[in-house]
Amino acid sequence: MPKSIAGTTVLTYNETANGLALEATFTGGTPPATADTFAPGSLLTDLSDGSEYVNSGTSAAPVWDAKVMSKTVALTAANLIAMYATPVAVVAAVPGKAIVVDSIDFVMARTSTAFTGGSTVAVQYAATANGAGTATHATIAASVVTGTVGTTYTARIPVVLSDVASASIAGVGLFISNITAAFAAGTGTATLKVKYHLV
């Protein structure tokens, strides 16, 4: 049932037998830290942007850690060819939040009609053409896209973000593009999976 926490946040609960929340929702602002309300390990979801938090503290002193989320995007041959000039959306912007990448997995399914040209591939902040947005990980070699027929797997860890201006990443979506030159001619496809959390 709905409850008011700290006079500002309304939550809907799934409770333990002793009345501590196991799952709850709230709308906007900072997750509430009210004592003796949330069970350890409970899940809290912000309905304003879909952010999820897990209580890594105690019921007396909850500590809300951002839960890792993921998004999987299928990339057609047309997407791969066009993404140099027209980056493909991966994760939509979340107003007031920065999307922090935890990992990138890129599965490339190449056909007998190989891609030609092109250059390194990267997931970046913003839809800046030619891969010129703020980087989220070490680039993926062009040969991953242009190689011979077959399916390959590429994983990348995130770059270290240090003292990045808020305007560059807060409220900014993630896009995939490539740097220097566009791919051409190929008929393969790719699947991109991004794990991330919101700050």
- At 62-92, the pLDDT tens digits run 988 888 888 999 999 999 999 999 999 999 9
Instruction: Give residue 4's pLDDT.
Output: 60
Four-way CATH pick for 69-198: 2.60.120, 2.40.30, 2.60.40, 2.40.50: 2.60.120
Taking only the tens place, the pLDDT of each residue in 82-139 is 999 999 999 999 888 899 999 999 999 999 999 999 999 999 999 999 999 999 999 9
Q: Which residues contact 85 (CB under 8 A, 6 or more apart)?
A: 129, 130, 182
Span 179-198, mean pLDDT? 94
Among 12-21, 26-35, 70-79, 104-113, whose mean pLDDT is lowest? 12-21
Q: What is the average pLDDT score of the chain?
A: 89
d(CA 171, CA 154): 28
Considering the entire predicted model, what is its pTM? 0.77
Helices in the chain by DSSP H: which ranges?
A: 77-82, 143-146, 166-169
- 137 contacts: CB under 8 Å, gap ≥ 6: 101, 104, 122, 123, 156, 157, 158, 159
Chain region(s) in the chain for CATH 2.60.120? 69-198
pLDDT range class, residue 3, cuts 50, 70, 90: low
